[in-house]
Amino acid sequence: MIDLRSDTVTKPSAEMRAAMMSAPVGDDVYGDDPTANSLEERVAALFGFESGLFTATGSLANQLAIRQLVKPGEELITETFSHIVRAELGAGAAFSGITTRTWESPRGVLRAADPLRIARPDSGPYQVSTTAIAVENTHNFGGGTVQSIAEIKELRDQSLKMGLTMHLDGARIWNAHIASGVSFLEYGKYFDTVSVCLSKGLGAPVGSVMLSNKERVASARIWRKRYGGGMRQIGMLAAAGHYALDNNIERLSTDHEHARLLASSVSAVAPTVVNPAEVDTNIVILDLAGASISAAELNGELKSAGILASTVNPTILRLVTHLDVSAADIAKVNSVLPELVERAFKAK
């Protein structure tokens, strides 16, 4: 099967597995795992932060971060379809008493004016007060959208004047960096907390890192343990992260090119379904509104042809390229997918 459901399905290479097997390890709950410690320090330095914390998942990294910025009963604002409010099962409210409010933007594109328009800091004793803004880069459900660094800077400049903090959900910040050329340090300097994921495009089997200053990370470490996320000899997992950083960042450009090839082949037969110019990175969103079949039905036809994709809603199908998808795989998908899409619209 050619698996385009997500870049989370990647498997560690033989070389990555070898690095994992040979990693020095210790008890990380005691702070004794040298490989985990060095990975946390490395990623923190990469983005210009004092400290980092290895977590099993990106959702945990996000939740630990926003907990440091927003007190129970206070408000986090973010885009309507961002991962932190759509795909983390209400964790901010369930675990930390955080309320959320959202703004909506086509493709999840950040325009600083949107969050600034709805932010309400210091709202007094009768209304909830906004204390933090979360930005997702790249924006998953927006289709791998890369956020403008100019808009991020503007949001930071104006939100600081309002006394607000900012969190970056940078699960795919590696893709944003490759697509935009913006450095990790430049991205990091506009945020109070950052989460980055090692197990998507970078191909590690497990792991994210939460970044902030020493005080916030020390607090997050306690909460990680409280949530049951303290792990022991995690150097083998951290070693995969080191290998990924050493070997798998620059190659993301291949994934981006593969995504554009998929989008272009579909657009050639059904221009309303996807605009290749809006495929910034490795995620392709197909909008089947007006087709004779649903996204789930098209997904079923693809599966019969040996191709896996993700149904987002009744009219939206998502395909994600990654390091386990070859040029030959893309060619096979392009020999099947456009014909199915074209048939779906002709039948209508």
Instruction: Give the architecture (CATH level 2) of 12-247.
Output: 3-Layer(aba) Sandwich (3.40)
Distance CA 343, CA 348 (A): 9
| Cβ(38)–Cβ(26) below 8 Å | no
Distance CA 296, CA 308 (A): 11
SS3 33: coil
Instruction: Give the architecture (CATH level 2) of 252-347.
Output: Alpha-Beta Complex (3.90)
Distance CA 127, CA 125 (A): 6
Peptide bond preceding 102 in cis form (omega within 30 of 0): no
What are the pLDDT tens digits along the chain (348 aa)? 999 999 999 999 999 999 999 999 999 999 999 999 999 999 999 999 999 999 999 999 999 999 999 999 999 999 999 999 999 999 999 999 999 999 999 999 999 999 999 999 999 999 999 999 999 999 999 999 999 999 999 999 999 999 999 999 999 999 999 999 999 999 999 999 999 999 999 999 999 999 999 999 999 999 999 999 999 999 999 999 999 999 999 999 999 999 999 999 999 999 999 999 999 999 999 999 999 999 999 999 999 999 999 999 999 999 999 999 999 999 999 999 999 999 999 865
Per the DSSP assignment, residues forming a β-bridge with 55 are 208
Domain edges within the chain = 12-247, 252-347
| Cβ(131)–Cβ(164) below 8 Å | yes
Distance CA 176, CA 280 (A): 8
